Structure 1
Amino acid sequence: MKIAYDAKRFFNNTSGLGNYSRDLVRMLSEFFPENKYMLLAKRENERGKTILENPSVSFSPISKGNMARQFKMGKDAQNLDADIFHGLSGELPLKWNKKTIKKIVTIHDLIFVHYPKFYSFFDRKIHFWKFKKAAHSADKIIAISEQTKKDVIEMLKVPAEKVVVVYQGCHAAFKTEKSQEELNTVKSKYNLPERFVLNVGTIEERKNLFTVIKALQNTDIPLVVVGRKTKYADQILSFIKKEKLEAQVQFLEGVSMEELACIYQMADIFVYPSLFEGFGIPVIEAHFSKTAVITSNLSCLPEAGGKDAVYVNPLNVKDVKAKISFLWDNESERQRRAEKSYEFAQLKFNDKLIAQNLIRVYEQIYST
């Protein structure tokens, strides 16, 4: 099979949709190298360079012009004799020629419908239109969780049999046990405490870091936060300054993937009380890092967390505080949950299984 991809996110995004795109192509080319995987974008760059070294992966520049991604990329894929076009970020091209080609779109979440206050009116309208258009023109829709599948069926009004769940994995960096030397280097570089609780993700209202800060107030438990700041972070920083928590809370930005993997492995607890996620990749990253997880009992997070994560009401500061304190003071319980969650992640989110599930979707529509 020849599969063409909208590779804009593959080359341009450093996290999120970029990681999903790169991991997907990496896994497929590793386990099913007999197919051809064509990356369509305006230009290639260093990001994903190692994946392009695989002989089954190639880059193809799309035709020049305004709105080329919407109006020319689909035809470009057809002219390359692609059997399947896969839109990796909720979109599909709007124009096609008469050549036969099957269409798949991955939809990650419909957070903008659940939490409209986090998005502008214009963004909500554009996102909804693009997602609905892609969902109805696709031959198959990949949802990254059961939660997203449910939302796609209900909110975009598509038949259930058109939607299939294929989970995400996570970056290979988190699946390698780091040496003590590597850990020490990162610990020294960022001046990390001996023990700490970790939170990873963009510092925005939906991720709900404020609840963690309040939960750790009046404790001596250090918190390390890794993520890009938004305006929401200003409220948190003001609170930290007012309550004199500067020595207890440490913010890191510009951390490499390899360094982040080390930080996960050094953390005692990973806490992620997000209000809503399409999947919750950081939870999987923590599982593969053998770090005990506390996360929300909402949306898809129990799917990612499994039965050995600790669940909280993310808006209940007392609940979050109690669960953190419980794990912080119980090393054997932390280790038990971390080991069981690692086994869960190995079983459910391993690369080979995900690649097999993706190929199954491709083969199903290719043969119809």
Structure 2
Amino acid sequence: MTDDQTLVNLSVLFSKPTGISTYAINLLPHLQQLNPTLLISPTVSTWMPLSDYTCYSIPGNLTPEQGTKGHFRRLLWTQLQLPRIYNTLRSRLLFSPIPEAPLYTNCRYVVMVHDLIPLRFPRRFSPLTPYFRYYIPQVLAQAQHIICNSTATARDITDFFHIPSAKITPIPLAYDANHFRCLERLSEVTSPLPPQPPFLTGEYKEKRLSLDSSNEPREGEASRNRPYFLYIGRHDPYKNLHRLIDAFAALPNCHDYELWLVGSTDQRYTPKLGDQADQLGLTHQVKFLDYLPYNQLPTIINQAIALVFPTLWEGFGLPVLEAMACGTPVITSNLSSLPEVAGNAALVINPYNAGEITEAMQAIATDSELRSRLRALSLNRASQFSWAKTGQATVEVLQRYL
């Protein structure tokens, strides 16, 4: 065993990947040239091929899937067990795809910071607030180097924590070009939409988290062939879904369209959004599709009128890039990293102004020339991002500290 052993901490991986897991999974093949040892739960091998990697088994109860308990278990494991593993394997460097690492030890590490949203939009009594206020600054101060996903996040790291910019390298994220692509012909649609996809609707008041998977429209519901606007992501307040629903309600002839909200429901926020849709008379038009499997996303994105992503802040904004890669028009915010990702290939709006969101949705819905122009611009813009570029830039940073 050599003394330049590189460890990759994959303690956050679980079977329903969102942003951080998507980043780690797609980056991994490009780190192979470092011959790393992966710190990974054995359960991950049931859904992710790992035969080409050296793996070191760690507990499987450290992931976001276990909620707050998993988070605290992972922090304890990071402080108490990870230094022992680092020394046992005679490691030279630890890479973590999240900003977590052992403090006050001999562990040398590089970490990835995705965003500082819990500091921009703090929630009372949330454990993430002290985590970002007290733990993360110590991790970043003791890191050999910090990678982040945008210049907006790099500015936040400097502004919130006074970390010198020379210690930070922004490396944009990417997308799977074999998965997210423009489906030119119907025969290319490998995961066709069911007649009526699972959704949560106005009956939400009685069965908040029960998916209605019936294939038959209910009485009074219009045809399932209505065109739809699409949002992908969580339901947190900073995602700005209440303004998106208001903007959709203000569309002329809004009853000719639907709004599909794809992403895991949250008992703290989703019921309020369901009630808002009911009060606006949009019970059968605002669809809460819950978490969708990765293989269904390209079809859902390709068949949408537009992705509408009016969040108040993002570290990067993967759904924007994935939609552009499908040639789907994008409406997104003029704040944080989103203009970096979208460039000139999207309609950018002030996310605090619901009227601007409505105007952009109406323009895309009614102007075929605009849709065609945005499609061409989106495909060109997306082609500038790749996991190979992201991976190589990451390897170059890590090699500096080996």
Say yes or no: does 1:180 pair with 2:186: yes
Deviation at 1:194, TM superposition (A): 4.8
Kindly tell me: are residues 176 and 96 of structure 1, through their superposed partners in 2, closer, same or farther at Cα, counting changes over 3 Å? same
Question: Which segment drifts farther, 247-256 or 201-210?
Answer: 247-256
Q: Residue in 2 aligned with 1:358?
A: 394
Kindly tell me: are residues 119 and 233 of structure 1, through their superposed partners in 2, closer, same or farther at Cα, counting changes over 3 Å? same
Deviation at 1:228, TM superposition (A): 1.5
1:189-338 aligned within 5 A: 190=197, 193-218=225-250, 219=254, 220-230=256-266, 231-338=268-375
Cα pair 1:74 1:95 within 8 Å, conserved: no
Cα pair 1:42 1:61 within 8 Å, conserved: yes
Kindly tell me: are residues 12 and 136 of structure 1, through their superposed partners in 2, closer, same or farther at Cα, counting changes over 3 Å? farther
Q: How many pairs were matched up?
A: 353
Q: Residue in 1 aligned with 2:26?
A: 23
Matched residue of 2:195: which SS? Answer: helix
Deviation at 1:68, TM superposition (A): 2.7
**Alignment RMSD (CA, Å):** 2.4
Q: Residue in 2 aligned with 1:130?
A: 135
Matched residue of 2:192: which SS? Answer: helix
Q: Which of 136, 140, 159 is the matching residue for 2:145? A: 140
Q: State the alpha-carbon separation in 2 of the partners of residues 193 and 281 from structure 1.
A: 27
Give the percent of matched residue pairs that are identical in Structure 1 and Structure 2. 24
Q: Residue in 2 aligned with 1:106?
A: 112
Kindly tell me: are residues 211 and 267 of structure 1, through their superposed partners in 2, closer, same or farther at Cα, counting changes over 3 Å? same
Cα pair 1:173 1:261 within 8 Å, conserved: no
Q: State the alpha-carbon separation in 1 of the partners of residues 288 and 231 from structure 2.
A: 10
Q: State the alpha-carbon separation in 2 of the partners of residues 244 and 355 from structure 1.
A: 47
Q: Residue in 2 aligned with 1:35?
A: 34
Q: Residue in 1 aligned with 2:78?
A: 69
Deviation at 1:122, TM superposition (A): 4.0
Q: Which of 353, 373, 379 is the matching residue for 1:342? A: 379
Q: State the alpha-carbon separation in 2 of the partners of residues 87 and 111 from structure 1.
A: 19
Say yes or no: does 1:60 pair with 2:56: yes
Deviations 1:209-231 (A, max 9, x none): 11121112152322111112222
Cα pair 1:275 1:296 within 8 Å, conserved: yes
Q: Which of 5, 13, 17 is the matching residue for 1:14? A: 17
Q: State the alpha-carbon separation in 1 of the partners of residues 46 and 358 from structure 2.
A: 39
Q: State the alpha-carbon separation in 2 of the partners of residues 19 and 177 from structure 1.
A: 20
Deviations 1:105-135 (A, max 9, x none): 111111111111x353543112222211110
Cα pair 1:63 1:72 within 8 Å, conserved: no
Cα pair 1:12 1:18 within 8 Å, conserved: no
- Comparing both structures, which one devotes a greater share of its residues to helix? 1
Q: Residue in 2 aligned with 1:88?
A: 97
Kindly tell me: are residues 28 and 236 of structure 1, through their superposed partners in 2, closer, same or farther at Cα, counting changes over 3 Å? same
Deviation at 1:20, TM superposition (A): 1.5
Deviation at 1:6, TM superposition (A): 1.5
Cα pair 2:191 2:295 within 8 Å, conserved: no
Deviation at 1:268, TM superposition (A): 1.6
Match of 1:58, as an amino acid?
T
Deviations 1:49-89 (A, max 9, x none): 22x13x2x22202499x833222213313322333211211
Match of 1:69, as an amino acid?
T
Kindly tell me: are residues 212 and 315 of structure 1, through their superposed partners in 2, closer, same or farther at Cα, counting changes over 3 Å? same
TM-score (normalised: structure 1): 0.88
Unmatched runs of 5 consecutive residues or more in structure 1 = none
Deviation at 1:26, TM superposition (A): 2.9
Match of 2:344, as an amino acid?
K
Match of 1:83, as an amino acid?
R
Deviation at 1:150, TM superposition (A): 0.7
Deviation at 1:345, TM superposition (A): 1.7
Deviations 1:260-290 (A, max 9, x none): 1210111121000001111111111111111
Q: State the alpha-carbon separation in 2 of the partners of residues 195 and 149 from structure 1.
A: 38
Deviation at 1:328, TM superposition (A): 0.9
Q: State the alpha-carbon separation in 1 of the partners of residues 341 and 297 from structure 2.
A: 19
Match of 1:49, as an amino acid?
M
